[in-house]
């Protein structure tokens, strides 16, 4: 995978190869939500494994084709696109799409909460975003494989996945291994994710990043969350809910072992808070308040949103953790 990334970085960035048919890019939010993967077509359904692979359809904002492969006994087998994999609801079934079209990403399900029910445990959808979830929780914030020029002088650049590979799980497989080839005008990258579902689902990530040109701000292990209002928000609001957020603070353990908690706010203007450190032991965006009464939202269930904690492997050296709050 690293050799693939190096070869990609040695070539000029190809924007044309990441375009999709106009009929898909013109899909609205509501029409895109009509398109659902047919679960009876999920990979590994008949193989004895507890895992299932469910690709996402291209369209709407998800306009970067991702080639999805299954690795079986050392051979990478691409999953061809076909409309037969999806239910289109009220959306007309598109005609003449190539089997090599690709997908927008995929979700992986397993028996996370109940031995008889398949629940999502991780999904890759859009740019380099991925989300994971532990037992008894609901999706909330997202992780990103890489961030470029966030909060800098240059416009932010969004790397995306060109291709994803998944090792076919056996009946006894507990961890799922995923590989990715990342691309953007400024970088190419090779990634390996080892997913371990459970009460606290974890992902062990190995990344090799090859720059095409100079990068002003490189963000490793970036997290993206939502914060509209919290317990420290004294502004007058018409919303009946006391708090509305996926995360309520940034938690850090510095290289010296000091624990730091920085509450998140919803500022009136862009605000960047930087915490310089050397060899940080960990950092993450957390949802500490688990009381339903703090949110009072039966649909969103903010009290069940996960927190993501990043544990650096090895010495990362000098750097900083940036909290970028966007109004």
pLDDT in tens, 281-313: 999 999 999 999 999 999 999 999 999 999 999
The three-state DSSP-derived secondary structure of the chain is CHHHHHHHHCCCCCCHHHCCCHHHHCCCHHHHHHCEECHHHCECCCCCCCCEEEEECCECCECCCEEEEEEECCEEEECCCCHHHEECCCCCCCCCCCCCCCECEEEEEEEEEECCEEEEEEEEECCCEEEECCCCCCCCCEEECCEECCCCCCCCECCEEEEEEEECCCCCCCCEEEEEEEECCCEEEEEEEEEECCCCCEEEEEEEEEECCCCCCEECCCEECCEEECCCCCCCCCCCCCCEECCCEEEEECCCCCEEEEECCCCCCCEEEEEEEECCCEEEEECCCCCHHHCCCCCCCHHHCCCEEECCCCCCCEEEEEEEECC
- pTM listed for this prediction: 0.93
Q: Please give the tally of structural domains in the chain.
A: 2
105-114, pLDDT tens digit by residue? 999 999 999 9
Whole domain around residue 316: which residue ranges?
A: 232-325
Q: pLDDT at position 235, please?
A: 58
* Residue ending a domain, choose from 184, 219, 254: 219
38-65, pLDDT tens digit by residue? 999 999 988 779 999 999 999 999 999 9
Examine residue 243 and state whether it is found in any structural domain, yes or no. yes
What tens-digit pLDDT sequence spans the chain (327 residues)?
999 999 999 999 998 877 899 999 999 999 999 999 999 999 998 877 999 999 999 999 999 999 999 999 899 999 999 999 999 999 999 999 999 999 999 999 999 999 999 999 999 999 999 999 999 999 999 999 999 998 777 889 999 999 999 999 988 889 999 999 999 999 999 999 999 999 999 999 999 999 999 888 999 999 999 999 988 665 556 788 899 999 999 999 999 999 999 999 999 899 999 999 999 999 999 999 999 999 999 999 999 999 999 999 999 999 999 999 998
Same domain, 92 and 176: yes
Same domain, 166 and 51: yes
Examine residue 225 and state whether it is found in any structural domain, yes or no. no
* Residue ending a domain, choose from 188, 219, 250: 219
Examine residue 203 and state whether it is found in any structural domain, yes or no. yes
Same domain, 237 and 212: no
Question: What backbone torsions phi and psi does residue 294 show, to the nearest 5 degrees?
Answer: -75, -20
Same domain, 47 and 148: yes
Closest of 87, 88, 86, 68 to residue 78, by C-alpha: 68
Same domain, 247 and 199: no
Q: pLDDT at position 237, please?
A: 67
* Residue ending a domain, choose from 198, 219, 240: 219
């Amino acid at each position: 995978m690293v050799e693939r990334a190096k070869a990609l970085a040695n070539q000029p960035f190809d924007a044309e190869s990441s375009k999709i048919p106009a009929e898909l890019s013109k899909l609205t939010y509501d029409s895109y939500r009509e398109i659902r993967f047919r679960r009876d077509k999920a990979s590994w359904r008949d193989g004895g494994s507890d895992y299932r692979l469910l690709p996402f359809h291209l369209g709407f904002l998800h306009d970067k084709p991702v080639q999805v492969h299954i690795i079986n006994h050392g051979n990478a087998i691409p999953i061809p696109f076909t409309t037969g994999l999806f239910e289109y609801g009220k959306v007309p079934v598109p005609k003449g799409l190539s089997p090599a079209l690709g997908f927008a990403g995929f979700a992986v399900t397993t028996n996370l909460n109940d031995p008889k029910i398949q629940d999502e445990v991780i999904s890759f959808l859009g740019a380099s975003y991925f989300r994971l979830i532990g037992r008894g929780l609901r999706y909330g914030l997202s992780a990103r494989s890489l961030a470029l020029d966030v909060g800098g002088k240059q416009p932010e650049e969004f790397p995306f996945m060109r291709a994803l590979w998944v090792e076919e799980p056996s009946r006894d497989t507990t961890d799922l291994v995923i590989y990715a080839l990342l691309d953007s005008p400024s970088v190419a990258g090779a990634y390996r994710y080892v997913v371990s579902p459970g009460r606290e689902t974890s992902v062990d990530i190995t990344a090799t990043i090859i720059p095409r040109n100079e990068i002003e701000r490189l963000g490793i292990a970036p997290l993206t969350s939502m914060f509209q209002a919290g317990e420290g928000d004294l502004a007058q609001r018409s919303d009946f809910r006391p708090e509305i957020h996926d995360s309520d603070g940034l938690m850090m353990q510095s290289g010296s072992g000091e624990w730091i908690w920085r509450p998140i706010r919803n500022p009136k203007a862009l605000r960047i808070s930087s915490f310089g450190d050397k060899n940080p032991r960990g950092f993450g965006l957390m949802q500490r308040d688990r009381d339903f009464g703090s949110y009072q939202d039966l649909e969103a269930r903010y009290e069940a949103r996960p927190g993501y904690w990043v544990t650096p492997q090895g010495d990362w050296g000098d750097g900083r953790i940036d909290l970028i709050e966007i109004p």
